[in-house]
């Protein structure tokens, strides 16, 4: 049996479908680090972390900010079920910068009323949103 030459990528969050495309390559933020997927990849199921998921169609690269969920990889397809996902063009960079500053402030001066884990996750999400927006604008 011949190896596939492309992947079918489907990305959905809890409230919508974001991507349903044929792609050449995907890089996914897993809880044990980023991993790349090319056509013919060995099947696997992975838990997602907070990060920049990107996929390539020919010479064009697309970025999405992702947070938590699961990825199912098959030799000819990748299915992502994310808790939250946002394409680069949907990101309000000023709002993400403000969220980053708020999270940093909460972590800088912790008190009994602050949930440190929640503030840390908010900081990670804000940083990833900023990075995804900037990478997309730079065409990286």
In which domain, by residue range, is 128 found? 91-138
% pLDDT > 70, the chain: 97
Report how far residue 110's alpha carbon sits from residue 108's, in angstroms, rounded to the nearest whole number.
Answer: 6
Tens-place pLDDT, residues 36-47: 999 999 999 999
Q: Decide if 26 contacts 36 (C-beta within 8 A).
A: yes
**2 inside domain:** no
**Does residue 111 share a domain with residue 59?**
no
Q: Determine the average pLDDT of the residues in 15-35.
A: 97
Question: What are the Cα distances from residue 27, in Å, to 16, 34, 118?
Answer: 21, 7, 26
Q: Decide if 53 contacts 21 (C-beta within 8 A).
A: no
Q: Is the pLDDT of residue 139 over 80?
A: no
Tens-place pLDDT, residues 2-22: 889 999 999 999 899 999 999
Q: Determine the average pLDDT of the residues in 46-64.
A: 96
User: How does the average pLDDT of the chain come out, rounded?
Assistant: 93
- Burial of residue 84 (CB within 10 Å: 0-12, 13-18, 19+) is middle
**Does residue 104 share a domain with residue 84?**
no
Query: Which pLDDT does position 81 carry in this prediction?
Result: 98
Q: Determine the average pLDDT of the residues in 107-113.
A: 77
The counts of H helices and E strands in the chain are 2, 7
- Of 1 and 94, the structure prediction assigns the larger pLDDT to 94
Token output for 23: 């792609």
Domain limit, last residue, from 46, 61, 88: 88
């Amino acid at each position: 049996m011949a190896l596939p030459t492309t992947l079918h990528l489907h990305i959905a969050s809890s409230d919508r479908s974001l991507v349903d495309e044929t792609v050449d390559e995907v890089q996914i933020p897993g809880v044990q680090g980023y991993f790349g997927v090319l056509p013919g990849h060995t099947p696997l199921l992975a838990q997602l972390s907070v990060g920049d998921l990107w996929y390539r169609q020919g010479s064009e690269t697309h970025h999405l900010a992702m947070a938590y969920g699961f990825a199912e990889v098959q030799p000819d397809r990748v299915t992502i079920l994310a808790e939250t996902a946002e394409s680069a063009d949907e990101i309000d960079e000023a709002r993400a910068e403000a969220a980053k500053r708020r999270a940093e402030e909460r972590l800088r001066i912790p008190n009994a009323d602050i949930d440190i884990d929640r503030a840390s996750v908010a900081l990670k999400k804000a940083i990833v949103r900023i990075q995804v927006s900037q990478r997309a604008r730079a065409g990286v």
